[in-house]
Amino acid sequence: MPHRIILGRPLHPAGAAVLAARGDLDITELFDPAADALHAALADADGLIAWLERVDHAALAAAPRLRAVSRVGVGFDTIDIPACSERGIPVMVVNGTNDLSVAEHAMMLMLAVARRAVDADAHVKAGGWWPEDGPRMVDLAGRTVLVVGYGRIGARVAQYCRAFHMRVLVHDPLYHPARIAADGHEPARDLHAALARSDVVTLHCPLTPHTHHLMDEAALAALRPGAILVNTARGPVAQQAAVAAALRSGRLMGFGTDVLETEPAEPGNPLLSLPNVVVSPHSAASTEEGLSRMAVAAARNLLDALDGRPDPAMMVNPGILQRG
């Protein structure tokens, strides 16, 4: 009997080819389904390849046959890990496939804000040239950047920032300071003390109860005036109202973000009407190469899990393998 597989979106052709080669799969493609449509599709599903679909108690209750969840990405805040673990369902992520793409995107946002790229582009396209007051642009070289989160993506961004001749501070309680120092960066245990020294802050931490609104009013007040904030992590890591207020007051020079607290963007989002805010649609990992790498890994992860041999290095909940 074929495995019934649900795709939250059409998979990149490279990943689709991995699935097609099996010959024992019944695949249904959705596209960013609403919760009721996803639940209906999961009713007889054995596996799910998910993007940002919520796999919560309601979804699991609608999926009595579900045996594996594979994310096209490395974050898992949309998945109820304890509930999946209770059911013995492996939750797989594509570790090592998107760090290059997201790190490059973070640098693009950093540069776009530092050089007022979007504002200047809009001004010229509207018929202007050099504005009377001149665009306020800054160099990255010689500035201090605080990298928050030192996983694969944060570590790459730290390397790229050093290549731009920036001073690199790293804040991540999960990494020993000696490890960070060995990579040539300065460990920063105290977040607010590090913020006071920082011209640029780039966020690469997962969304957890501890990191929710990590960049709040107090954190932004601790920053050097005129700093740049970049977020390619998750929207709620930066408190949207506090960021908007800091931009209006001039505390922040600009904000580059790939993520918002509510996605897709709501029409009333104050960030959308402010100058020197660069927003991309949660697409940092979605280069042609990145999509290919993630799709192949997500497809292989799902098949490995359905075959009873999930790779622990790709699992969020490898502890379920110890149950015997």
pLDDT per residue as tens digits for the range 267-319: 999 999 999 999 999 999 999 999 999 999 999 999 999 999 999 999 999 99
* Per-residue model confidence (pLDDT) at position 1: 79
From the list 263, 266, 288, 289, the catalytic residue is 263
Q: What is the DSSP letter of 313?
A: G
User: What pLDDT was estimated at residue 80?
Assistant: 97
Distance (Å, rounded) from C-alpha 149 to C-alpha 129?
A: 39
Distance, CA of 34 to CA of 43 (rounded, Å): 15
* Whether 108 contacts 296, CB under 8 Å: no
| Ranges of H-type helices in 172-287 | 177-182, 191-195, 217-222, 240-249
Q: What is the mean pLDDT of the chain?
A: 96
Determine whether 71 is an active site residue: no
Active-site choice (3, 234, 251, 293):
234
Break the chain into its structural domains and give their ranges.
3-97+288-323, 99-279
Per the annotation, the verdict on 143 as an active-site residue is no
56: number of Cβ within 10 Å: 14
Of the candidates 27, 20, 29, 30, the one whose C-alpha atom is nearest the C-alpha of residue 3 is: 27
User: What are the structure tokens assigned to 95, written together?
Assistant: 């570790």
At 42, which amino acid appears? L
Alpha-carbon torsion 103, 104, 110, 113, what sign? negative
Among residues 3, 116, 171, 282, the one annotated as catalytic is 282
| Identical fold between 3-97+288-323 and 99-279 | yes
* pLDDT score of 324: 56
Among 151, 205, 147, 159, CA closest to 175: 151
Residue in the structure block whose two tokens are 């080669």: 21
Question: What single-letter DSSP state applies at residue 55?
Answer: B
Q: What angle do CA 7, 84, 15 make, to 5 degrees?
A: 25
Contact 262, 288 (CB under 8 A): no
Share of the chain above pLDDT 70, in %: 99
How confident is the model over 209-230, as pLDDT tens digits?
999 999 999 999 999 999 999 9
Regarding the domain delimited by 3-97+288-323, which CATH topology (the fold level of the hierarchy) does it fall under? Rossmann fold (3.40.50)
Asked if 234 is an active-site residue, the reply is yes
CB-neighbour burial class of residue 87 (10 A; exposed 0-12, middle 13-18, buried 19+): middle
CATH topology of domain 99-279: Rossmann fold (3.40.50)
Nearest to 238 by CA among 254, 252, 259, 266: 259
pTM across the whole model: 0.91
Ordered DSSP codes for 40-99: HHGGG-SEEEESS--B-HHHHHT-TT--EEEESSS--TTB-HHHHHHHT--EE--TTSSH
pLDDT of residue 207: 94
pLDDT at 133: 76
- Residues above pLDDT 90, as percent of the chain: 96
